[in-house]
Amino acid sequence: MTARRRVAVTGMGVVSPAGTDLAATMAGVVAAKATAAPITLFDATNLPVGFACEVAELDVEGRIGAREARRIDRSGHLALIAAADALADAGLGADDADRSRVAVVAGSGVGGLTTLEEQVRLHAERGREKGPRRVSPMTVPMMMANGPAALVSIAHGFTGPSLCVATACATGANAIGEASRLLRDGTADVAVAGATECAITPTAMSAFANMGALSRRSDDPGTASRPFDVERDGFVMGEGAGFLVLETWEHAVGRGARIHGELLGYGTTCDASHITAPSEDGAGAAACLRLALASADLAPADVRHINAHGTSTPLNDAAEARAMSTVFGPGAVPVTSTKGVMGHLIGAAGAVEAVVALASAIDGVVPPVAGTSEVDPEIDADVVVGAPRSIERGPVVSTSFAFGGHNAAVVLAPA
């Protein structure tokens, strides 16, 4: 029997509300510095919820170019910058890999929603006669969900598989996991894997608020996102992008790459029960966790900490806690969630959180959950609050659960 190919992590890149690179993001996460604030991307005066976690001070024109930036949706901007940073971190030069053997798996939950809303508004404002002629010819390539994958492939000349994953809030974790399969089955030597999202738009904010998913703590946005807290009342919308450069272990060693860590395992399932609500017993999420551990050939006791999905919504946090308790035992593993700092990045959440999870494992630290002051007594988990916790370096699990019942988990470990 042929041994399964090992998957090395050689590059990490992230753009988030906590910072426009990995160092700044990790500093904000470990300091539990919440980023929720009134929306500045557009006039949110009349929205039911007017605050979110935005990416600030991002030099898009400097990184991409003014002309090119105008032809790309904001979600594409975030993807290109985060992917470029991951590739730079990997030190992957033009002669370090066969471009036809480099895959790109880049996901998005909603695609170029900013562009879609702008063009629909422009069409309506110009009226029935002029409206159709005023719609930009770049609308379709700017809004299509596969745009970020194509952009990253084009920007770097990668001609291997270029795929889009769209599984709502599980997108980022699924993209990384599916990319690892391309490496393990021999389809590619290198994969640039991650996700991007910018769903801070008037329609998206109104829709999520009206369905009761968003926190309405407008008087104190900084404590609105409080994963696993007894008074949690919904998530805070965020935006961002995260990417990993994955390589077969042989390829990484062969080119003398610095190896940050290893992608040990991946699991994915579906609750198949409800279009928005998770299964209350957490059975689907527990099955996903078991698959991820089995894929990594690990026992629950081998895991040093869990970077939970932890959205700050009543149902999700409770179901996830039940799943963790079922698989790992009550309060057996330190648990954190970055959403108290940077909000919910929807499709990009799992990718950014996977990057943060691995960086945390490398540093031997579990970041505290921002905004959470009193863990719900019904949550039977060791939620880290108040201050970072030092841990032994070792495997970390990053989980993502989504509308539609999609569940995904990746297992990562320091090299």
Q: What is the pLDDT of residues 373-389, one digit of tens each?
A: 999 999 999 999 999 99
Q: Is residue 252 part of a domain?
A: yes
Contact 147, 115 (CB under 8 A): no
pLDDT of residue 1: 46
Q: Is residue 124 part of a domain?
A: no
Q: Is residue 133 part of a domain?
A: no
Residue 315 phi, psi dihedral angles, 5° rounding: -70, -45
Question: Structural domain tally of the chain?
Answer: 1
> CA angle 146-152-154, nearest 5°?
100
Q: Is residue 121 part of a domain?
A: no
CATH number at residue 265: 3.40.47.10
Active site residues: 169, 309, 344
- Closest residue by Cα to residue 187 from 195, 177, 179: 179
pLDDT of residue 130: 84
Residue 166 phi, psi dihedral angles, 5° rounding: -140, 90
For residue 18, what are the domain limits? 7-110+145-414
pLDDT of residue 127: 76
Contact 278, 401 (CB under 8 A): yes
Encoding tokens for residue 320? 């996830």
Strand order in the sheet with 396-401: 162-163, 102-107, 190-198, 239-248, 7-15, 261-270, 406-414, 396-401, 305-307, 334-336, 382-383
Contact 266, 350 (CB under 8 A): no
Q: Is residue 307 part of a domain?
A: yes
Q: Is residue 354 part of a domain?
A: yes
Q: Is residue 135 part of a domain?
A: no
- Write down the pTM of the prediction: 0.98
Task: Annotate 360-398 with b (16+ C-beta within 10 A) or e (fewer).
Answer: bbbbbbbbbbbbbeebbeebbbbbbbeebbebeeebbbb
Percent of the chain at pLDDT > 70 equals 100
pLDDT of residue 282: 97
Residue 17 DSSP one-character state: T
pLDDT of residue 2: 61
Please name the residue ranges forming H helices in 190-282: 202-210, 249-254
Contact 59, 23 (CB under 8 A): no
Q: Is residue 403 part of a domain?
A: yes
Q: What is the pLDDT of residues 277-315, one digit of tens each?
A: 999 999 999 999 999 999 999 999 999 999 999 999 999
Residues of the chain with pLDDT under 50: 1
pLDDT of residue 129: 78
